[in-house]
């Protein structure tokens, strides 16, 4: 995948400098933005995507796609939890104040944002993301996140973003390092109506979970391993997962649980 850093057309010295610094950090080319559309710029420079530094955010742009960090549904889920409602993801993980969780498939950190609020300032969330561009978007997004609703309390400073595969990271951890280990693999049957997920798919790791990986996850966790999937489109039976929380309708989100 060929990707370069650039700016918006309406740029200035500060924005150019920021783009150059990001290019150095990610070890990818910087190209000066001229008066071309993104599509023409991509074709002209022969790149697959451009990481565009805007004044308020960073966007990965393709010919027909846009990908940037946003809390998406996380704020609604956090508000629901704070109002005392049951959320399947928390029923499955059973997270409490002060707990630690390893999110092996961080992505754009939507689930980790929920976890961070539940475990609080005394808890910790570590998220591994193998794609360096997605990891960078999430790291910057979390560092600059200000929730839109003052009633929502979030602790983004307790989320650590690690640009590494979960296989390598798990192997380096000691036994019982985290209370919970969590996986959210790419769904076998994608939700094609979700434009944000569709933009994300080219950058995502599509490999399936194996019993060997789950064994490592069980070694690393103190309490349980949780896997997010869709009802009717998963490998729970093959992986020996019998307990889950979530919807009963085919296609709905469910969370399989393996207790330590």
Average pLDDT over residues 136-152: 82
47: nearest Cα among 139, 136, 133, 105: 133
What are the sequence ranges of the domains in the chain? 3-67, 74-259
**Does the predicted model carry a pTM greater than 0.75?**
yes
Closest CA to 256 of 184, 179, 186: 184
Q: What is the pLDDT of residue 208?
A: 87
pLDDT, mean of residues 91-120 = 96
Percent of the chain topping pLDDT 70:
92
Task: Name the average pLDDT for the chain.
Answer: 90
Residue 181: predicted pLDDT: 98
Q: What is the pLDDT of residue 191?
A: 55
| DSSP-derived secondary structure letter, 233 | B
What's the average model confidence in pLDDT over 158-178? 97
Q: Which two tokens stand for residue 199?
A: 């933009």
Q: Which residues contact 133 (CB under 8 A, 6 or more apart)?
A: 3, 26, 51, 60, 203
Model confidence over 232-248: pLDDT tens digits?
888 898 898 989 999 88
Q: Which residue has the higher pLDDT, 188 or 206?
A: 206
Q: Name every residue whose Cβ is closer than 8 Å to that of residue 171 and which is 6 or more positions away in sequence.
A: 216
Q: What is the pLDDT of residue 211?
A: 93
pLDDT at residue 223, as a whole number = 98
CATH fourth-level superfamily of 3-67? Brix domain (3.40.50.10480)
Q: What is the pLDDT of residues 193-245, one digit of tens each?
A: 545 555 666 777 778 899 999 999 999 999 999 999 988 888 898 898 989 99
What totals of helices (H) and strands (E) does the chain contain, helices first?
10, 11
The pLDDT tens digits of the residues spanning 28-64 come to 999 998 888 888 888 888 899 999 999 999 999 998 8
Q: What is the distance between the alpha carbons of residues 6 and 19, in angstroms, rounded to a whole number?
A: 6
The token duo for 9 is: 């057309």
Q: 74-259 falls under which CATH superfamily?
A: Vaccinia Virus protein VP39 (3.40.50.150)
Fold matches, 3-67 and 74-259: yes
């Amino acid at each position: 995948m060929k990707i370069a850093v650039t700016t918006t057309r309406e740029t200035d010295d500060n924005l150019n400098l920021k783009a150059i610094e990001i290019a150095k950090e990610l070890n990818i080319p910087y190209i000066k933005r001229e008066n071309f559309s993104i599509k023409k710029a991509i074709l002209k420079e022969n790149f697959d995507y451009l990481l565009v530094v805007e004044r308020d955010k960073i966007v990965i742009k393709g010919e027909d796609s846009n990908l940037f960090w946003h809390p998406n549904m996380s704020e609604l889920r956090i508000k629901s939890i704070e109002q005392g409602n049951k959320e399947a993801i928390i029923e499955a993980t059973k997270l409490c104040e002060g707990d630690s969780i390893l999110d092996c498939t961080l992505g754009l950190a939507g689930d980790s944002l929920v976890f961070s609020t539940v475990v609080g300032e005394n808890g910790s969330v570590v998220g591994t993301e193998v794609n360096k561009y997605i990891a960078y978007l999430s790291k910057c997004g979390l560092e600059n996140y200000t929730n839109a609703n003052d009633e929502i309390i979030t602790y983004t400073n307790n989320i650590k973003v690690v640009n590494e595969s979960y296989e390598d990271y798990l192997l380096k951890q000691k036994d019982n390092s985290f209370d919970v280990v969590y996986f959210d693999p790419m769904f076998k049957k994608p939700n094609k109506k979700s434009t944000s997920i569709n933009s994300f798919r080219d950058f995502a790791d599509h490999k399936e979970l194996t019993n060997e990986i789950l064994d490592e996850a069980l070694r690393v966790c103190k309490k349980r391993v949780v896997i997010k999937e869709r009802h009717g489109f998963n490998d729970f039976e093959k992986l020996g997962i019998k307990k889950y929380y979530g919807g009963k309708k085919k296609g709905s989100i469910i969370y399989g649980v393996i207790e330590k």
